[in-house]
Amino acid sequence: MVKYLIQRIASSFLVLFLVISLTFVLMHAIPGGPFSSEKVLPDAVKANIEERYHLNDPLSKQYVDYLVNIAHFDLGPTFRYAGRSVNDLIQDGMPKTAAVGLLAAIFGIGGGLILGTISALGQNKTPDIVATVFSTIGISVPSFVLATLFQYYLGYKTGWFPPVGWGELKQLVLPSLALSAYPVAQVTRLMRTSMLDVLGQDYIRTARAKGLPGYLIITRHAMRNALLPVITYLGPFFAYILTGNFVVEYVFNIPGIGQFFVTSINNRDYPTIMGITILYCTLLVAFNLLVDIAYTLVDPRIKLTTQKGA
């Protein structure tokens, strides 16, 4: 276990190093400097700007500097928000992004597990059909459309929730709902099939034969084993929550990391794009590691081997 952990952590660092290098190369492969789109600047001003952002250094030096700075958790200055660093942006945006993401994760997993279980228990009956319709909508409608519809009909028209902005708890609800629609659908489908699978097993019949009440069979015996496939989905789930945030924060005008990211794409603000990409990759790699470990804790049948498991 310890050996496996060390290897996994080492390979995680390798992944991050490669990601950083790749983003660096990609961002510097773009023809023209980041300021070339501006109106023509006097040469002296241009030289000053390049000096300020170290753009006149040789690429190899810029690369090494960037790596060293990242090792110090310094993602460099932004190009578009004068005087602010990427770190500032992330510090500003992180709590908002995390709050929306967390609530969406709770909605997503909770809603998915409940809907999936209900639809498995009432297979081919009304609850199953309702759950299937819900999950179908979640899979087939783009999140920005859903977010807009929620915003307009649940926010603006009915006035149940504030349609835009940030500040109070109520404003979290609509963005998280919109963000969780797709994962809810996925978890529902996964949970439904795995629950049906488990309910057909012999030990469930045994439990029933012992006279165990239905809810205990579900919560004690069926749930636990049905959860396994859902846990494997947690990695993609988390990735979706992170990247889905781009859309949701943009629609609901939440000043989180996702919104900064979309704006920086449109502004061609390369350090911010790189910084947020690297941040997201780091979070994701760490999360995947946690999921792998959680998996072994939940299912003792799984042996961690460095040959296959990674």
Partner 1 sequence: MSLSPKMFELVKSQVSADAIARPSTTLWQDAWRRFKKNYLAMLGLVVLALLVLFSFIGPLFSQFNFYTNNLEALYASPSWIHPFGTDDLGRDIMTRIMYGGRISLEIGLVSVMINLVLGVFYGGISGYFGGRVDNIMMRIIDIIYSVPDLLYVILLMVVLGQGGLWNIMIVLGIVNWMPMARIVRGQILTLREQEYVLAARTLGANTQRLLLKHLIPNTVGPIIVTVALQIPAAIFMEAFLSFIGIGIMPPLASWGSMASAGRLSIPSHPNALLFPSMAIAITMLAFNFVGDGLRDAFDPKMRK
Q: Does 297 bind partner 1 (CB under 8 A)?
A: no
Q: Does 152 bind partner 1 (CB under 8 A)?
A: yes
Q: Are 271 and 79 in contact (CB under 8 A)?
A: yes
| CB nearer to partner 1: pick between 36 and 48 | 36
Three-class SS of 61-90: HHHHHHHHHHHCCCCCECCCCCCCEHHHHH
Binding residue for partner 1, selected from 103, 226, 281, 304, defined by CB under 8 A: 281
| CB nearer to partner 1: pick between 17 and 203 | 17
Q: Does 121 bind partner 1 (CB under 8 A)?
A: no
Piece of 107-115, 145-153, 172-180, 220-228 that binds partner 1 (CB under 8 A): 145-153
Minimum distance between the CB of residue 66 and partner 1, rounded to whole angstroms?
Answer: 15
Q: Does 158 bind partner 1 (CB under 8 A)?
A: no
Q: Taking CB under 8 A as the criterion, which residues in 203-242 touch partner 1? A: 239-240, 242
| CB nearer to partner 1: pick between 128 and 212 | 128
| CB nearer to partner 1: pick between 142 and 216 | 142
What is the DSSP track for the chain?
Answer: -HHHHHHHHHHHHHHHHHHHHHHHHHHHSSSS-TTTTSSPPPHHHHHHHHHHTTTTS-HHHHHHHHHHHHHTT---B-SSSTT-BHHHHHHHHHHHHHHHHHHHHHHHHHHHHHHHHHHHHTTTSHHHHHHHHHHHHHHHS-HHHHHHHIIIIIIIIS-SS--S-SSSTHHHHHHHHHHHHHHHHHHHHHHHHHHHHHHTSHHHHHHHHTT--HHHIIIIIIHHHHHHHHHHHHHHHHHHHHHHHHHHHHHHT--SHHHHHHHHHHHT-HHHHHHHHHHHHHHHHHHHHHHHHHHHHH-TTPPP-TTTT-
Binding residue for partner 1, selected from 99, 184, 247, 248, defined by CB under 8 A: 247
| CB nearer to partner 1: pick between 171 and 194 | 194
Q: Taking CB under 8 A as the criterion, which residues in 14-43 touch partner 1? A: 14-15, 18-19, 23, 26-27, 29-30
Q: Does 140 bind partner 1 (CB under 8 A)?
A: yes
Binding residue for partner 1, selected from 85, 250, 291, 293, defined by CB under 8 A: 250
Cα–Cα distance between 58 and 28 in angstroms, integer?
12
Q: Does 267 bind partner 1 (CB under 8 A)?
A: no
Q: Taking CB under 8 A as the criterion, which residues in 165-204 touch partner 1? A: 193, 196
Piece of 55-63, 92-100, 139-147, 224-232 that binds partner 1 (CB under 8 A): 139-147
Q: Which of 232, 304, 275 is nearest to 85 (CA)?
A: 275
Q: Does 290 bind partner 1 (CB under 8 A)?
A: no
Beta-carbon count within 10 A of 103 CB: 18
| CB nearer to partner 1: pick between 166 and 250 | 250
**Binding region for partner 1 (CB under 8 A):** 11, 14-15, 18-19, 23, 26-27, 29-30, 136-137, 139-145, 148-149, 152, 156, 193, 196, 239-240, 242-243, 246-247, 250-251, 262, 265-266, 268, 273, 277, 280-281, 284-285, 288, 310
